[in-house]
Amino acid sequence: MAQKNKTAAKIFTGSYVALVTPFKGGKVDLDAFQKLVEWHISSGTHGLVPCGTTGETPTLTESEHKSLIVACVEAAAGRVPVLAGAGSNATEKAVELGRFAEKSGADGILVVTPYYNKPTQEGLYRHYKAVNDAQGLPVILYNVPGRTGVEISVDTVIRLAALKRIAGIKDASVDLSRPLQIRHALGDGFIQLSGEDGTVAAYLAQGGHGCISVTANVAPKLCADLHTAWQKKDWKKFEKIRDQLLPLHKNLFAETNPAPAKYCLHRMGKIGGDLRLPMVPVSKATEKLLEGAMAAAGIKPKKK
């Protein structure tokens, strides 16, 4: 495969879905997974992110992780970009996953900050530089301090952006000044993707280009339409969809992601309801909240 540099990363805009991983009988259900991909493409989703946090990657074996990347690229068949999760708290493993994603035909890689290790900013820089140097795909940094215990500082983002393949960031912090600071320093060419559905409107207004979304698992067309309306400056439509999606944004995190999203998808007949320990099904109280949120979004689940 020909090398891709950060110029190619301009494709990473709009509504990207952080795909769940369906399980059946304790094993990854690749058939259900590829059907989800097809549904997302037909619903207008702008891009696909397999093997992120929502995909329960901490519980996947390396072979399962790789099989999902291959299955996603195969099902997408070049119709929409695939931004493959290639993160690890072990730098060598992140390098290997990045190389594998490139060989598999992915369009870019999403690399989370090393979790549990809590590296310094210099450690973060060297981690991402190793990934940058080892393969030819655009790299999207993933800042999610609530999950990993460490945050990439704006200064480190700016430093990393000087590397050839560091093309953008997915930011799931609560600091909405960050996208504006980064935009001021790096301009519009550095891709900024929200990792927080509930603040996506504010993130776009602060200089963001799109969202890697949990909500898009359940409401792909609405999420895609939201970003299309933003791009077309159709403010009335944007505001209507923004408000319609709020109950889903809120209640999909009533318990730990991706259990609520998987409940909704199961109710919609898209996947089985299986999760892998330590993830467990949502409570009855959360089920009621999710039913109401789906109704607000115009989603009609199958009868129980």
The catalytic residue positions are 142, 170
Comparing C-alpha atoms, which of 232, 271, 258, 227 is closest to residue 245? 227
Q: How far apart are CA 36 and CA 7, in angstroms?
A: 29
162: helix, strand or coil: coil
Phi first, then psi, for residue 143 (nearest 5°) are -105, 110
Number of Cβ atoms within 10 Å of the Cβ of 258: 24
Tokens for 240, please give them: 């209507």
Q: How far apart are CA 276 and CA 24, in angstroms?
A: 10
- End-to-end CA separation in angstroms for the chain: 47
Whether 181 and 192 have beta carbons less than 8 Å apart is answered as no
Tokens for 262, please give them: 């998987």
Sign of CA dihedral 188, 123, 49, 92: positive
